[in-house]
């Protein structure tokens, strides 16, 4: 079995690894570190949670142990898709380089440019950044990338999802052609493969698992849920989530709940707090300081449940996450793998449960097709008695409204005897003028227009067609006669 001591790393790096409690490298580390130390380009393909960060951090520190950085000219560059992942890489760097005199700078949004400019001006060996903030510094003339010897692209497929590929291509063009490139991704989309063919030179390809596969240490399950009514579906779905959390009991030490939309993240977190669950939200619209506090609280065990958008799906190194809940089925099946990869890390056991509503079944089928595995169906932990009662109450209300309508309709014919009486007395009023008779017949025809033809016949009156015998005399006149009159 390969050990870290067999990988030709710097002794000071090995000491830091030993102090961190690691003895055996993961497959991606065992394959990528020797190739990186030999100066070759590396293309690493591995699922989330397999130790990709150390695969480039350890050889990077070993290579940079000798030499010194110049002002505004970093010696290496690490690109990450999110602030959280960049901060995690910086923490790994601090852990493994604590016995080596190297400097670093972290360039992410939410932090003032002035503080970052001070670090860059002093000269840094390792520059860890998100693409947008890096280009901001470059365009302000605060950064020169001509001295970059090693460039690392972490979570490249996430870069693709977030629309960073044009920025990545531009940054590649700003770095020396002779640089060494370490490129890591969980999946190999056609666009990612195009970039590797363009910017990597004869890379060492290390693929330690089938693309987009879930760890075998993760127990998966899905609840196929359908709300009692469309307007109640969201609240009932949150109730199912609470039931799933309660069903796990003490086995759930901490958990991450993923939602597709930022608004749903806030709603679910607020709902859990209302029912006395220790939960907090995290998504891209929150202030960076708040995101940092929330993540630190979750890592330290002060926060039990983290409700997150996909901004937290990748790169969060919290080894002891016991559960992951997908409140929504992700729109991209690859994101399912990255989400559940937050649990079952470093050989630990984990559990991932998804709630699937009818309109998400198509996306869920895509997930099962991607991971080439049927996910076991779980029973709904929430008793259906209340929804059934709700449906019963709805059905009970309907007869009431039906009876009220029938009562109204049954009461409508009550005036008919009067109408019939009026019809019976009509022959006695022969003294009335034709004009009056005409108006009375018109009023009767208007009042009876809403009744059926048969009901008019039942009242005993003759069926009237057109104006009957009471045609006004002016209708028979010609146009000239009308004008003359």
pLDDT band at 63 (very low <50, low <70, confident <90, very high): very high
Lowest mean pLDDT among 18-32, 123-137, 339-353, 372-386: 372-386
Provide mean pLDDT across the span 19-27. Answer: 90
* Statement to judge: residues 133 and 22 lie in one domain: yes
Query: Does the pLDDT at position 133 exceed 80?
Result: yes
What is the rounded distance in angstroms from the CA atom of residue 241 to the CA atom of residue 324? 11
Question: How large is the C-alpha radius of gyration of the chain?
Answer: 38
pLDDT band at 437 (very low <50, low <70, confident <90, very high): very low
Q: Report pLDDT digits (tens) over 42-59.
A: 999 987 667 889 999 999
Query: Does the pLDDT at position 334 exceed 70?
Result: yes
What is the rounded distance in angstroms from the CA atom of residue 341 to the CA atom of residue 352? 9
Write the DSSP assignment of 348-369 as a string of letters. --EEEEEEE-GGGHHHHHHHHH
Query: Does the pLDDT at position 106 exceed 90?
Result: yes
Bigger pLDDT: 53 or 464? Answer: 53
Share of the chain above pLDDT 70, in %: 75
Q: Specify the number of domains making up the chain.
A: 3
Query: Does the pLDDT at position 463 exceed 70?
Result: no
Q: Tell me whether residue 97 is in a domain.
A: yes
Q: Report pLDDT digits (tens) over 226-238.
A: 999 999 999 999 9
**Which pLDDT value is given to residue 188?**
83
**Which pLDDT value is given to residue 350?**
93
What is the rounded distance in angstroms from the CA atom of residue 93 to the CA atom of residue 102? 10
Query: Does the pLDDT at position 427 exceed 60?
Result: no
**Which pLDDT value is given to residue 476?**
65
Among residues 318, 349, 381, the one where a domain terminates is: 381
What is the rounded distance in angstroms from the CA atom of residue 85 to the CA atom of residue 83? 6
Provide mean pLDDT across the span 152-170. Answer: 90
What is the rounded distance in angstroms from the CA atom of residue 10 to the CA atom of residue 279? 42
Share of the chain above pLDDT 90, in %: 52
pLDDT band at 400 (very low <50, low <70, confident <90, very high): very low
Q: Tell me whether residue 303 is in a domain.
A: yes
Provide mean pLDDT across the span 293-300. Answer: 89
Query: Does the pLDDT at position 473 exceed 70?
Result: no
* Statement to judge: residues 114 and 155 lie in one domain: yes
Rounded to two decimals, the pTM is 0.64
* Statement to judge: residues 193 and 322 lie in one domain: no
- Edge-to-edge strands of the sheet including 150-153? 104-107, 126-129, 76-79, 150-153, 180-185, 42-45, 204-207
| CATH code for position 189 | 3.40.50.300
Query: Does the pLDDT at position 454 exceed 70?
Result: no
Lowest mean pLDDT among 52-66, 231-245, 314-328: 314-328
Provide mean pLDDT across the span 173-192. Answer: 91
Provide mean pLDDT across the span 310-336. Answer: 82
Q: Tell me whether residue 397 is in a domain.
A: no
Phi, psi of 78, rounded to the nearest 5 degrees = -120, 120
* Statement to judge: residues 152 and 103 lie in one domain: yes
Query: Does the pLDDT at position 388 exceed 60?
Result: no
pLDDT band at 439 (very low <50, low <70, confident <90, very high): very low
Provide mean pLDDT across the span 88-116. Answer: 91
User: Which are the contacts of 403, defined by CB distance < 8 A and separation ≥ 6?
Assistant: none
Bigger pLDDT: 165 or 420? Answer: 165
Q: Would you give the DSSP letter of residue 70?
A: B
Query: Does the pLDDT at position 302 exceed 80?
Result: yes
* Statement to judge: residues 290 and 364 lie in one domain: yes
Q: Tell me whether residue 388 is in a domain.
A: no
Q: Which residue in the block uniquely carries the two structure tokens 């390809």?
A: 205
CB 45 within 8 A of CB 23: no
**Which pLDDT value is given to residue 203?**
95
Q: Tell me whether residue 347 is in a domain.
A: yes
Bigger pLDDT: 432 or 88? Answer: 88
Q: Would you give the DSSP letter of residue 186?
A: S
* Statement to judge: residues 234 and 376 lie in one domain: yes
CB 90 within 8 A of CB 292: no
* Statement to judge: residues 283 and 183 lie in one domain: no
**Which pLDDT value is given to residue 206?**
93
* Statement to judge: residues 354 and 474 lie in one domain: no
* Statement to judge: residues 341 and 314 lie in one domain: yes
What is the rounded distance in angstroms from the CA atom of residue 187 to the CA atom of residue 189? 6
Average pLDDT of the chain is 81
If you average pLDDT over each of 59-73, 264-278, 307-321, which comes out highest?
264-278
* Statement to judge: residues 193 and 330 lie in one domain: no
Q: Tell me whether residue 414 is in a domain.
A: no
* Statement to judge: residues 199 and 262 lie in one domain: no
**Which pLDDT value is given to residue 295?**
87
What is the rounded distance in angstroms from the CA atom of residue 119 to the CA atom of residue 223? 50
Q: Tell me whether residue 403 is in a domain.
A: no
**Which pLDDT value is given to residue 83?**
87
**Which pLDDT value is given to residue 33?**
96
CB 386 within 8 A of CB 240: no
Lowest mean pLDDT among 103-117, 354-368, 378-392: 378-392
CB 356 within 8 A of CB 241: no
Cα→Cα distances 339→255, 269, 363, Å: 12, 18, 15
Tell me which residue range forms the domain holding 476.
426-485
Query: Does the pLDDT at position 107 exceed 80?
Result: yes
Among residues 381, 403, 434, the one where a domain terminates is: 381
CB 183 within 8 A of CB 200: yes
Among residues 162, 179, 207, the one where a domain terminates is: 207
If you average pLDDT over each of 30-39, 160-169, 405-414, which comes out highest?
30-39
Query: Does the pLDDT at position 248 exceed 60?
Result: yes
Cα→Cα distances 98→101, 120, 248, Å: 7, 20, 40
Which contiguous run of DSSP H or E holds residue 45?
Answer: strand 42-45
**Which pLDDT value is given to residue 217?**
87
pLDDT band at 480 (very low <50, low <70, confident <90, very high): low
* Statement to judge: residues 189 and 50 lie in one domain: yes
Q: Tell me whether residue 409 is in a domain.
A: no
């Amino acid at each position: 079995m390969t050990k870290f001591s067999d990988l030709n790393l710097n002794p000071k790096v090995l000491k830091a690894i030993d102090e961190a409690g690691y003895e055996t490298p993961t497959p991606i580390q065992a394959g990528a570190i020797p190739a990186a130390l030999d100066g070759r380009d590396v293309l690493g393909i591995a699922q989330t949670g397999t130790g990709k960060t150390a695969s480039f951090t350890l050889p990077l520190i070993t290579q940079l142990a000798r030499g010194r950085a110049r002002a505004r000219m970093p010696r290496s560059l690490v690109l990450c898709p999110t602030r959280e992942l960049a901060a995690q890489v910086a923490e790994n760097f601090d852990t493994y380089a604590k016995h080596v005199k190297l400097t670093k700078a972290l360039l992410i949004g939410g932090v003032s440019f002035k503080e970052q400019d001070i670090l860059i001006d002093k000269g840094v060996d390792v520059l860890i950044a998100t693409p947008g903030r890096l280009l901001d510094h470059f365009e302000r003339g605060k950064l020169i990338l001509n001295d970059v010897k090693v460039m690392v692209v972490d979570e490249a497929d996430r870069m693709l999802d977030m629309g960073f590929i044009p920025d990545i291509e531009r940054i590649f063009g700003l770095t020396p052609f002779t640089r060494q490139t370490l490129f890591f991704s969980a999946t190999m989309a056609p666009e990612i493969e195009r970039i590797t063919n363009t910017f990597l030179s004869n890379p060492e390809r290390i693929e330690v698992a089938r693309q987009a596969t879930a760890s075998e240490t993760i127990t998966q399950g899905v609840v196929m849920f359908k709300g009692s009514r469309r307007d109640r579906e969201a609240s009932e779905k949150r109730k199912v989530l609470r039931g799933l959390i309660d069903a796990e009991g003490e086995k759930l030490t901490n958990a991450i709940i993923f939602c597709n939309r930022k608004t749903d993240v806030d709603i679910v977190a607020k709902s859990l707090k209302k029912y006395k669950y220790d939960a907090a939200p995290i998504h891209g619209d929150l202030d960076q300081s708040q995101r940092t506090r929330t993540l630190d609280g979750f890592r330290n065990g002060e926060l039990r449940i983290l409700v997150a958008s996909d901004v937290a799906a990748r790169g969060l190194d919290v080894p002891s996450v016991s559960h992951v809940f997908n409140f929504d089925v992700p729109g991209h099946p690859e994101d399912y793998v990255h989400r559940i990869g937050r649990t079952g890390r470093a050989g630990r056991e984990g559990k991932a449960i998804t709630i699937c509503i009818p309109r998400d079944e198509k996306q869920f089928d895509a997930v099962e097709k991607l991971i080439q595995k049927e996910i076991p169906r779980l029973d709904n932990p929430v008793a259906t008695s209340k929804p059934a009662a709700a449906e019963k109450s709805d059905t009970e209300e309907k007869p009431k409204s039906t009876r009220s309508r029938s009562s109204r309709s049954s009461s409508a014919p009550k005036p008919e005897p009067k109408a019939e009486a009026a019809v019976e007395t009509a022959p006695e009023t022969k003294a009335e003028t034709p004009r009056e008779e005409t108006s009375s017949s018109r009023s009767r025809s208007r009042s009876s227009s809403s009744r059926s033809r048969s009901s008019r016949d039942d009242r005993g009156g003759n069926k009237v067609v057109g104006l009957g015998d009471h045609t006004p005399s002016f209708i028979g006149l010609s146009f000239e006669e009308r004008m003359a009159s």
